Amino acid sequence: MSEGTLFIISAPSGAGKTSLIKCALKGLDNVSVSISHTTRLPRPGESDGINYHFISQCEFESMKKESKFLESAQVHGNYYGTSRDCVEKILLKGGDVVLEIDWQGANQVREIFDNCCSIFILPPSKDELRRRLIKRGQDKEETIKKRVAAAQEEMSHYNEANIIIVNDDFQASCSRLKAILEKQCDDNSTKSADQKLNILLTDLLS
């Protein structure tokens, strides 16, 4: 039995990453999302063991000290980590795994799995990114400003991924991501350097 494929999917807050992954995974029985551990509090509608494993900072530090994380990072003042044991067990059984992690975690994982498929999701514009963050209705204005700044830092690492998806049309982006997961990372538009993308990146990173 051949090992499964590890997919890394990164994006700034507000790019629609979680919704796209949920959409793309429908009907893909051999692909599962790794559930991360985090020290942040659950948001409305989130459940422990489904969205995240919510743990204390003490528990997180203990797991990290025991090398139980494949990767870990601090994001917006909270800690996130991916269980090494869980991911490796699925891959060894031939299953594919999706990691929803930021650029810091992605770099750590690529050092361990050099044949993984890395995907970066971008919003269609800076204005749209801000609109989506405001629409969530969960953050204050000052927090939103910090998240926009953090999003720009995250997006500056877009070129470290194999594939870039601009989420300007949800259904089209979902279909493309699904096709990538089915083809095991074979995508003809990888690292597109066309003028439209360059203009978008100038807007997002300015």
CATH topology for 6-205 is: Rossmann fold (3.40.50)
**0.75 exceeded by the pTM?**
yes
- Residue spans of the domains in the chain: they are 6-205
Q: How far apart are CA 14 and CA 205, in angstroms?
A: 15
Give me the tens of pLDDT residue by residue for the chain, a chain 206 residues long: 578 999 999 999 889 999 999 999 999 999 999 999 999 999 999 999 999 999 999 999 999 999 999 999 998 889 999 999 999 999 999 999 999 999 999 999 999 998 899 999 999 998 998 888 887 666 677 888 888 888 999 999 999 999 999 999 999 999 999 999 998 676 655 454 577 788 888 888 88
Contact at 8 Å (CB) between 33 and 100? yes
Residue 76 sits at φ, ψ, to 5 deg, of 55, 35
Measured from the Cβ of residue 2, the count of other Cβ atoms closer than 10 Å reads: 6
